[in-house]
Amino acid sequence: NTLNVALGGSSYNCQGELFTEIAATVPAYKGLTQAGLSDVGAILPVAVSAKLVPVADQAQAAVAGKLALVTGSALYHSGTMSRYGEGPMYVCPDAYAELSSADAAALKIAEGDMVTVSSSTGSVSVTAKVGKRLPQGVVFAPYHFSEGSINTVTDGSAVTWVSVTKK
């Protein structure tokens, strides 16, 4: 308090008065009171209200003859440490591209065929999986295999459209 007065500031009767001024002056302290502090402080920000804003419609029309690429991990096999585990590598040892049975039939691709997944940014060769889990028009590939790295095919847009061809 003495230093504050010597520097031309106000004199405070207690630390609560000083804290009230800080809370009124510093935006990050808005809504915070000394009574609201615990022994370990407070979680900021205190006075937060949602500010919802409309987002633009990001739907993209399908590209004729192309499939929408979805990348991700293969269940609990994310590649970070799971490539060193016997169990995950037994279940999913290699990179693959999974297609719906309808898309596979249209492209004359069977389970286990080698396929090339291509986009405007690159291509990768992987083994095909055919199943009923994916909707028609979508191809899934895990991103964590160094061989067959599917992320070299993605182009940074909301949807990467790819071609899948049998080798």
pLDDT at 29: 81
Peptide bond into 93 cis (omega under 30): no
Half-sphere CA count of 127, side-chain side, radius 13 A:
10
Provide the 8-state DSSP code for 61.
Answer: P
Q: What percent of the chain has pLDDT over 90?
A: 29
Q: What value does the mean pLDDT of the chain take? A: 81
Same domain, 43 and 86: no
Domain that holds residue 12: 7-48
Judge if 71 and 44 occupy the same domain.
no
Comparing 24-28, 47-51, 135-139, which segment has the lowest mean pLDDT? 47-51
Report the CATH number that the domain containing residue 137 is assigned in CATH. Answer: 2.40.40.20
96 and 126 in contact (C-beta within 8 Å)?
Answer: yes
- The answer to whether residue 78 sits within a structural domain is yes
Tens digits of per-residue pLDDT, 3-46?
A: 878 888 778 888 888 888 888 888 878 888 888 787 777 776 65
CB crowding 72-95: b at 16 or more within 10 Å, else e:
eebeebebeebeeeeebeeebeeb
Q: What pLDDT score does 56 carry?
A: 63
pLDDT in tens, 110-129: 999 999 999 999 999 999 99
Residues 105 and 140 in one domain: yes
**Are residue 73 and residue 152 in the same domain, yes or no?**
yes
